[in-house]
Amino acid sequence: MPTLNVKNVIKVFKTGKLEVIALQGVTFEAQSGELVVLRGPSGSGKTTLFSLLAGLDRPTAGSIRLDGTAVENLTDEALEKHLASTVGVVFQNFNLISSFTALENVVFPMLLTTREVPVARRRARDLLEKVGMSEREDHLPRELSGGEQQRVAIAVALANDPPFILADEPTAELDSKTGQFVVEMLRGQAHKQGKLVLVATHDETIAALADRTLRLRDGRIVA
């Protein structure tokens, strides 16, 4: 069974009497071990689809199955628990907790899955070492550069060893050297760790390395 199965997903936004159909029957499958790139112009529905896959919103109709579980049927509490262990999200704006150190940011998602604090701290330190941030673990996000924050954000996304990594424009605010590091890290998660990695991006470097590219236009998959 595919790691991700999206079938006939529709998303409608309503503002008073006005309806905007952001997604119009989106259907695709993706497997473990793949690096899949999601592309599309502004207004194509890319951001809406990302939000649905990340569990930040729910579809108006259709089904999204992660590891065989139809997430649209879960209660809010069950969805939060399922996503915490199944999906790691790398946000364009890093989405780190400003009052937490780098180490505490990585520890936090593991505590949501009832992992004991000493175990979580050991894994957090291992992950920070892998992304080259061991020397900065006690720093707050505001004390880190954009590239350093993105490295921490990747460690946060990997904290619970999820089978599905979802990244939104992960190289948009980075210099070329850090951007290349992020690209190689994500590709390694797919090809070496066997995860499904889906990246919404305009970055040609990532697109060139993808196993597949999904193109969205006017709320539909067109290629």
Tens of pLDDT, residues 14-68: 988 899 999 999 999 999 999 999 999 888 999 899 999 988 899 999 999 988 8
Mind listing the domains of the chain with CATH numbers? 4-221 (3.40.50.300)
Q: How confident is the model at residue 187 (pLDDT cuts 50, 70, 90)?
A: very high
Q: Is the pLDDT confidence value at 171 over 60?
A: yes
Q: Is the pLDDT confidence value at 1 over 70?
A: no
Long-range contacts of 10-18 (CB under 8 A, 24+ apart): 10/59, 10/60, 10/61, 10/62, 11/45, 11/48, 11/49, 11/52, 11/57, 11/59, 11/60, 11/219, 12/60
Q: Which residues contact 82 (CB under 8 A, 6 or more apart)?
A: 66, 69, 71, 74
Which one is predicted more confidently, 81 or 109?
A: 109
Q: Is the pLDDT confidence value at 2 over 70?
A: no
Cβ proximity of 161 and 128 under 8 Å:
no
The mean pLDDT value of the chain amounts to 91
- Give pLDDT, residue 22: 95
User: What is this structure's pTM?
Assistant: 0.90
